[in-house]
Structure 1
């Protein structure tokens, strides 16, 4: 039996969906070149927005650790107007094929969003780059992006229900590989249930969680996943000064509201504002030079992000 929304069906059932060959070979080459340049700028101290070893969550330090201590594992704000290569990243982020997948996953497949007279439902959110740390391996502990590990079973159930009312997502989150990537490890189906006792009592970096699956991506493949699936990352270090061995675009797109008869819309907006604005995107997205020059739709999506606020006082989703 076929379905009109195969990606959404897979996401709802498993908590993730792999989409092979989302990029053409030429697109892979162009984006890999831009990503390598952005990483080099960041590693050499010429781009101030990054994720640093050994921290897993924001806020991030303002000075990167030396390569001997692992250095960086991410480059932030690929859509920032001051970043060289921004145009290349923006063309992908706002490309019709990416937006079409997001629309399906967010239940907007038949929404007239491409019309200049329609109300744009999508929100520009985050677009970052995940890279290999230098000289040493680095691992992220098991987590859900917006639910603390200290939550009780009852609290966890309530938060899962509130963050995905009636099974609807407030955002579409993805990893797009520009190099072979087997860094993401997930527990399929865990996005719709509380942790088992084994999962709750497991070591933070448990290497063999029951039912876990390593998501293997070839260059050009993408995985879209529910951010509250139980997951972690394992990043192999690269030789200091050597060729970049991991370049994975990490993006998210939101929807303006996920309402239901329980009145969860306001709570959804607050939760999503914290998840997005904690990374500092609100500090620059409103600037005059932040326009993309790619037509009306990207600007409407950017305006939807501006409407979220600056990010002052929103706090952080998780700590560590």
Structure 2
């Protein structure tokens, strides 16, 4: 059996930090195009974004003014109309990213390789610092509402990670120093404790919590159902961007998923962000190789996203 240090860490702790996934030269390159994408979005030239104070989709069509916090994310970096999308795609589909995803999804080793492309292109966005005021995300799991009972919570955790394996790999890649993500290690494998269940939504300190510290070029891959939150410091007015974090996910195609996994749940988690509205377009082809097109075709097969609903509210 091949060594799987990343998967071992993910299964044990719910996250794995990978230092220097990008070189300093690559960090500088992507910081430049990420800054351009952010500036374009802040100035109303890109219509896909995450807005303060909203945490989950659907997002407003117009950004709030900077005085109210503005945006905290740029959506759809792989959209055919996004300037710089080819360069973003070169990272998203790079061997260094796909190799980690393959290990985390149990695809490492020749025995796991078949004729069909097992990976699905999912989401690729950019997380940025809000303007003028700090912004926080409440404690949550990405696909499990906080209102469920302990029994329901356990069933959902087990269904989303059959035999301890996930259907997708989700990550943050920092282009600036980033200490925004706060996790509770091991919470992806258990129901919430009474303290966690009764905690305030923005409780600043829970037992065992850990701030994930990333330097430019570092990545953290994490189980989307680990108990986590985000704390985003506002950027200085008129200053340089202080947070540029590439936020992506890749999934397993339908034939590679565990038999007992709910494929509609994963489709909702992905398509709720609106990616299904453009991924099928003729101009959405990347032109950088065969594998990206197969992964894009797997996403097209998920559907358009119409009527799928939303995983969480707020």
Fold shared, TM-score > 0.5 on shorter chain: yes
**Match status 1:149 vs 2:152:** no
Q: What SS does the corresponding residue of 2:169 show, helix, strand or coil?
A: strand
In 2 relative to 1, CA 227–125 (structure 1 residues): closer, same or farther, beyond 3 Å? same
- Select which of 200, 219, 222 maps to 1:222: 219
Cα distance, 1:241 vs. partner? 2.6
Paired residue for 1:206? 203
Cα distance, 1:239 vs. partner? 2.1
1:208-259 superposed Cα distances (whole Å, 9 cap, x missing partner): 1100000000000000000000000000001233210000000000001455
Report if aligned partners of 1:160, 1:192 keep a CA contact under 8 Å in 2.
yes
Cα distance, 1:48 vs. partner? 0.1
Paired residue for 1:311? 305
- Select which of 240, 244, 249 maps to 2:246: 249
Paired residue for 1:197? 194
**Match status 1:294 vs 2:294:** no
Paired residue for 2:72? 73
Deviating more after overlay: 126-135 vs 3-12: 3-12
Could you tell me which runs of 5 or more consecutive residues in structure 2 were left unpaired when the two chains were aligned: none
Cα distance, 1:110 vs. partner? 1.6
Could you tell me which runs of 5 or more consecutive residues in structure 1 were left unpaired when the two chains were aligned: none
In the alignment, the residues of structure 2 paired with residue 283 and residue 224 of structure 1 have an alpha-carbon distance, to the nearest angstrom, of 27
In the alignment, the residues of structure 2 paired with residue 256 and residue 86 of structure 1 have an alpha-carbon distance, to the nearest angstrom, of 23
Q: What SS does the corresponding residue of 2:158 show, helix, strand or coil?
A: helix
Report if aligned partners of 1:113, 1:119 keep a CA contact under 8 Å in 2.
no
Give the RMSD, CA atoms, in angstroms. Answer: 1.4
Q: What SS does the corresponding residue of 1:249 show, helix, strand or coil?
A: strand
1:72-103 superposed Cα distances (whole Å, 9 cap, x missing partner): 00000000010001111000000001000000
Paired residue for 1:38? 37
In 2 relative to 1, CA 34–247 (structure 1 residues): closer, same or farther, beyond 3 Å? same
- Select which of 253, 273, 285 maps to 2:279: 285
1:238-293 superposed Cα distances (whole Å, 9 cap, x missing partner): 12332100000000000014554xx414x1x1111000000000000000010111
Query: How many residues align structurally?
Result: 313
**Match status 1:264 vs 2:260:** yes
Report if aligned partners of 1:174, 1:225 keep a CA contact under 8 Å in 2.
yes
Paired residue for 2:231? 234
Cα distance, 1:318 vs. partner? 0.1
In 2 relative to 1, CA 112–89 (structure 1 residues): closer, same or farther, beyond 3 Å? farther
In 2 relative to 1, CA 36–307 (structure 1 residues): closer, same or farther, beyond 3 Å? same
Paired residue for 1:121? 118
Q: What SS does the corresponding residue of 1:92 show, helix, strand or coil?
A: helix
In the alignment, the residues of structure 1 paired with residue 125 and residue 243 of structure 2 have an alpha-carbon distance, to the nearest angstrom, of 13
Q: What SS does the corresponding residue of 2:264 show, helix, strand or coil?
A: helix
In the alignment, the residues of structure 2 paired with residue 33 and residue 290 of structure 1 have an alpha-carbon distance, to the nearest angstrom, of 23
Paired residue for 1:13? 12
